[in-house]
Structure 1
Amino acid sequence: MSRVVPLQYKHGGPIIAVQVENEYGSYDRDPAYMPYIKKALEDRGIIELLLTSDNKDGLKKGMVHGVLATINLQTRQELQLMNTFLVSVQGIQPKMVMEYWTGWFDSWGGPHNILDSSEVLETVTAIIDAGSSINLYMFHGGTNFGFINGAMHFHEYKSDVTSYDYDAVLTEAGDYTAKYSKLREFFGSFSDAPLPPPPKPLPKMTYEPLIPVFYLSLWDVLSFIGEPIKSEKPINMENLPVNDGNGQAFGYILYETIITSSGTLSGVVRDRGQVFLDTVSIGFMDYKTTKIIIPLIQGYTFLRILVENRGRVNYGNNIDDQRKGIIGNLYLNDSPLKKFRIYSLDMKKSFFQRFSIDKWTRIPDVPTFPAFFFCGFVIGSSPSDTFLKLECDFVISGSHSRLTHSLLCLKGWEKGVIFVNGQNLGRYWNIGPQETLYLPGPWLFRGNNQIIIFEEVMAGSVIQFTDTPYLGRNQYIH
């Protein structure tokens, strides 16, 4: 805060207001919290306008005395709250739509959300006509690189896709849309001077398709990533004794124990657990599937559960419940299993630094999953933005040396994570709606580059590049 204070407007800086909280009304667990934050800001030298920001459902609960309440909305109907409720509770105060939602985010397995540009223009016009200030959320679409995507959990858990394009005014790659053109013309009408021409969009490239050659099964990786954590009972991700006692924040976690009988396996798995007997996958456990049948086995065998943290809830009452991995005991025929070996698979850069060249082998005819796939490629010129596509639109010729177009599409990659030059680009999943991942040019090198794919279930044969994003409904000009 000491760095912020001198940048306030009254001290000659650019900061004209400070937001006390964001949509706390959706949570509203502690009536003393908001006044405490307000006082904490003031005690530390904040003297500019203080404000809160809530949608229509949390507006009343998110307010605090002496702080300007602002509203988040998307429709003209919601705009009526600004002219009625807000005026009734705080009198004649400046009006502010803190978040005008120009689109919406997507969830895995759901539709790609699009908001028509004509509707956006009509609502923005109505907001300005109401005498309100406005902030466009989002103006520039973004990307949930790595594992940082959020999630929602109301009737059911839904995790956000990697793209946060949001159908925003500018795409996640910074390209113009019809919304941009219409809003530029609208806001430009308030200026006496002509607007300067907008910058040219950055070029996009379609690089040659890549065929992965090298491979490492997850089960082989376990032998050189360090000793597992031994525990009598499962430990959730956040409580693992790793990272100097701070636990594991993101990624995957693998639980191993020995069983000697068949039956019903049950437990609370967050968010998605793939269940294995030795190295054979027998199904998944998640929010909906809390039990799975263990088939008849002879002797003893390894029971393994690979659990993915698909993203933490970032809105609403379930914020308090965000623990990942196996929560509590894991039961076989209602008896708790014991003596676990637990591997922290956070997949940071340090994780991959243990993958020495001699560890990789050529991809077998029948790979064992989950697995890592590696390929290198060379860029001869200055790298440009591109998009990765893992659904194969090609058929492999006999020599694997070239690609030919075909009406037949090979079944592609199913679910996993892509790492480019050591950085986590994000997740992919063939349930959609997102089909491509935005790869910024600055992530690439002129010269040698490498891609590692962690695939959970089934690999495709090709990694494609395209200069066009496919997010579900490819409709940027509308």
Structure 2
Amino acid sequence: MVVFRIRKTHRRQYGILCFTIAGLIIYHYIRMEPGLRKMSRREGLNASSSLFTLDGEEFRILGGSIHYFRVPRAYWKDRLMKMKSCGLNTLTTYVPWNLHEPERGVFNFKRELDLEAYINLAAEVGLWVILRPGPYICSEWDLGGLPSWLLRDENMKLRTTYPGFTEAVNSFFDKLIPKIVPLQFKRGGPIIALQVENEYGSYAKDINYMPFIKEALQSRGIDELLLTSDNHDGLKLGGVNGALKTINLQKLNTESLKYLDAVQPHSPKMVMEYWTGWFDAWGDLHHLFPAEDMVAVVRKILKQGMSINLYMFHGGTNFGFVSGALATPSYKALITSYDYDAPLSESGDYTPKYHLLKDLFNRYHTEKLPEMPPLRWREAYEAAIMYQHLSLWDALQFTGEPFRSVTPVNMENLPVNNGNGQSYGYTLYETTITSGGILNSGNNVRDRALVFVDKSFIGVFKYKSLELAVPDGKGQRTLSLLVENCGRVHYGKNLDDQRKGLVGDIVLNNIPLRDFTIYSLEMKPSFIESLFSAPWKYLPAMPTLPGFFQGRIFVDGYPSDTFVKLPGWNKGVVFINGQNLGRYWAIGPQQALYLPGPWLNSGINQVIVFEEQEADGKIHFEESPDLGMSVDIQ
């Protein structure tokens, strides 16, 4: 036997080493899978009595919604700290399937879409999390968050147990849920509950669908509290056994609360979506919900002992082409801003609602609330002079090979994006005509088309506008229709009917047009980058429209937030350093686009504007938002 003797002078170091090793062993024990350390398991959010309990202690959810995909990642922590400082204890967020799986089988959980980082950041700030993974999220988001490639199947039945849909959901959940499982409360994470789908009672086309989604979650390792959320009309059809029902509202409805008591006696009541404001559509007014009216309802909800989630606490922005649309009473596309008249403004400013809520929530805390984070500086930069121009027709060479078809093909079924079709943006359809006459859309334009003959503009087909006069001319001429997907409907029972582009025949003098050349203009970052090598020309006095305009914005020092304003322009899209800020449109209500400082560089920044019909020689940058003329929500 060999005996090791430790010198007296080394005993202290030896003791420290043993203590360190013991500490590491304890640390790794704590980090073990829950099944291996049953003594350390905690009781999750429980709804078996009239009040929630968390880890065995009474708990009231004071929640708020902030969507990571509507906020620049550089500002995630700022917005969450402002939530914590207001007195909220729980973050809720949707998960947008269409962003995380833009092409079938191609997944993105990086950078602005790093869901795990967002959830861990909430925990770091001191917030619990209620996750709403869909697959349908509504949220005034294109197709309610469902990926457009689902619509390539002409028989697709969204939000049902149709095999083509359930197979796609299972594939997405196979990728998503394993990222969520370790972040559950019982495993040491911040997620205390998950929502099963979203407002299914307002859809309710398949009684087997909600049980399918519930099983899809639980079979992959979800074992925290499940809940459903529905508005008043959907409450009776939207639930599923084993999930707590919650309600969505803006004004208290006694009948709905009585119904919740009847179907869930001795269960906690929760308003899952208390609508702090509302969203806006192009051509409407900006909706406001007076702060005093909003807080009065919140006060009543809390006095009744209910839990609450503020939708939205901070709305953010629908950057790019992801805004949804209304189907009834007629089609209306939604604006780029998702300010929502929320307690935190689109750019993260405190509003009167925030201060009133902070004062109210402070009464429900025994400890002092954290200090409010300081506001960020905003800058009114010098106007960007548009010094170069590129017509749409000259830009077509950068769109990739056009597709030729005898009949029109809708956007989703175009042979682009590795067989996944086109999701967003514009599609150009061109064919040859030999006469003038009456051009009839047959309600097959989705959603808006600029019409040209030999590149000369002759009119616009809007949603359901049917006829245009085509002038007479000699010989063969090119008829072009530049069709914009203005946003797929996000809510209602006609989700299956949201294919875009030309969805049927266009008729000239009662004869269907044939033999189309089709260009996909999705305007992805790769396309905008390709324009660097385009044959730009110095801006002429009368530029050809539609077209792209290029300018520069100079930032002296550290970049600040600003707002892009376009007086003298009509309708189009703004790109800053390749980032798509979203659509602008002179009809309002929104008159300025939010430009986050982190998307700017110190020094020179590239500005590209795609304009459809009317251009000015410069764009402006202002310190303040402009969401247009407003109207109070009644």
Which interval holds the TM-score relative to the shorter structure?
A: over 0.9
SS in 2 for 1:381: coil
Q: Which of 213, 218, 226 matches 2:387?
A: 213
Letter of the 1:130 counterpart:
Q
Match of 2:625 in 1: 469
Match of 1:455 in 2: 611
CA–CA distance in structure 1, aligned partners of residues 370 and 330 of structure 2 = 47
Could you tell me whether the CA contact under 8 Å between 1:5 and 1:46 is conserved in 2?
yes
Match of 1:115 in 2: 289
The offset of 1:195, in angstroms, is: 2.6
Superposed CA offset, 1:216-255 (max 9, x none) = 0101112343331111111100000001101000000000
2:389 paired with 1:233? no
Could you tell me whether the CA contact under 8 Å between 1:146 and 1:425 is conserved in 2?
yes
Superposed CA offset, 1:86-138 (max 9, x none) = 11222221111001000001000001000000011100001111221000111
* Aligned residue runs from structure 1 range 294-313, under 5 A: 294-313=470-489
Could you tell me whether the CA contact under 8 Å between 2:285 and 2:631 is conserved in 1?
no
2:592 paired with 1:436? yes
Match of 2:430 in 1: 256
Higher helix content, 1 or 2: 2
Match of 1:201 in 2: 375
Could you tell me whether the CA contact under 8 Å between 1:141 and 1:174 is conserved in 2?
no
CA–CA distance in structure 1, aligned partners of residues 613 and 409 of structure 2 = 25
Match of 2:211 in 1: 35
Q: Which of 439, 444, 457 matches 1:265?
A: 439
Match of 1:418 in 2: 574
2:206 paired with 1:23? no
The offset of 1:357, in angstroms, is: 4.7
Q: Which of 396, 406, 420 matches 1:246?
A: 420
Gaps of 5+ in 2: 1-176
Higher strand content, 1 or 2: 1
Alignment CA distance shift 1:252-1:358 (3 Å): closer
* Aligned residue runs from structure 1 range 62-461, under 5 A: 62-76=238-252, 78=253, 80-267=254-441, 268-357=444-533, 359-391=535-567, 412-461=568-617
Aligned length: 454
Match of 2:127 in 1: none
The offset of 1:191, in angstroms, is: 2.2
SS in 1 for 2:358: helix
CA–CA distance in structure 1, aligned partners of residues 399 and 497 of structure 2 = 30
The offset of 1:475, in angstroms, is: 10
Alignment CA distance shift 1:4-1:354 (3 Å): closer
CA–CA distance in structure 1, aligned partners of residues 593 and 297 of structure 2 = 31
The offset of 1:472, in angstroms, is: 1.3
The TM-score with structure 2 as length reference comes to 0.70
CA–CA distance in structure 1, aligned partners of residues 248 and 465 of structure 2 = 36
Superposed CA offset, 1:368-399 (max 9, x none) = 110100002321200000000001xxxxxxxx
The offset of 1:353, in angstroms, is: 2.7
Could you tell me whether the CA contact under 8 Å between 1:82 and 1:95 is conserved in 2?
no
Could you tell me whether the CA contact under 8 Å between 2:232 and 2:256 is conserved in 1?
no
Match of 2:190 in 1: 14
The TM-score with structure 1 as length reference comes to 0.92
The offset of 1:81, in angstroms, is: 3.6
CA–CA distance in structure 1, aligned partners of residues 320 and 502 of structure 2 = 22
Could you tell me whether the CA contact under 8 Å between 1:266 and 1:291 is conserved in 2?
yes
Superposed CA offset, 1:237-274 (max 9, x none) = 00000011010000000000000011221221001011
Could you tell me whether the CA contact under 8 Å between 2:382 and 2:554 is conserved in 1?
no
Alignment CA distance shift 1:223-1:47 (3 Å): closer
CA–CA distance in structure 1, aligned partners of residues 529 and 187 of structure 2 = 48
The offset of 1:296, in angstroms, is: 1.5
Letter of the 1:447 counterpart:
G
SS in 2 for 1:39: helix
Letter of the 2:573 counterpart:
V
CA–CA distance in structure 1, aligned partners of residues 228 and 486 of structure 2 = 30
Could you tell me whether the CA contact under 8 Å between 1:330 and 1:336 is conserved in 2?
yes
Match of 2:180 in 1: 4
SS in 2 for 1:244: coil
CA–CA distance in structure 2, aligned partners of residues 19 and 355 of structure 1 = 43
CA–CA distance in structure 1, aligned partners of residues 192 and 401 of structure 2 = 52
CA–CA distance in structure 2, aligned partners of residues 72 and 461 of structure 1 = 46
The offset of 1:474, in angstroms, is: 7.6
Alignment CA distance shift 1:307-1:198 (3 Å): same
CA–CA distance in structure 2, aligned partners of residues 475 and 462 of structure 1 = 31
The offset of 1:291, in angstroms, is: 1.9
Could you tell me whether the CA contact under 8 Å between 1:162 and 1:427 is conserved in 2?
yes
Superposed CA offset, 1:312-341 (max 9, x none) = 111111211110000112211221111100
Letter of the 1:470 counterpart:
D
CA RMSD of aligned residues (A): 1.5
Alignment CA distance shift 1:349-1:67 (3 Å): same
2:224 paired with 1:48? yes
CA–CA distance in structure 2, aligned partners of residues 125 and 70 of structure 1 = 18
Could you tell me whether the CA contact under 8 Å between 1:204 and 1:467 is conserved in 2?
yes
Letter of the 1:161 counterpart:
I
Could you tell me whether the CA contact under 8 Å between 1:237 and 1:248 is conserved in 2?
yes
Gaps of 5+ in 1: 392-411
CA–CA distance in structure 2, aligned partners of residues 445 and 239 of structure 1 = 38
Letter of the 2:587 counterpart:
I
Tell which structure's C-alpha radius of gyration is larger: 2
Letter of the 1:297 counterpart:
G
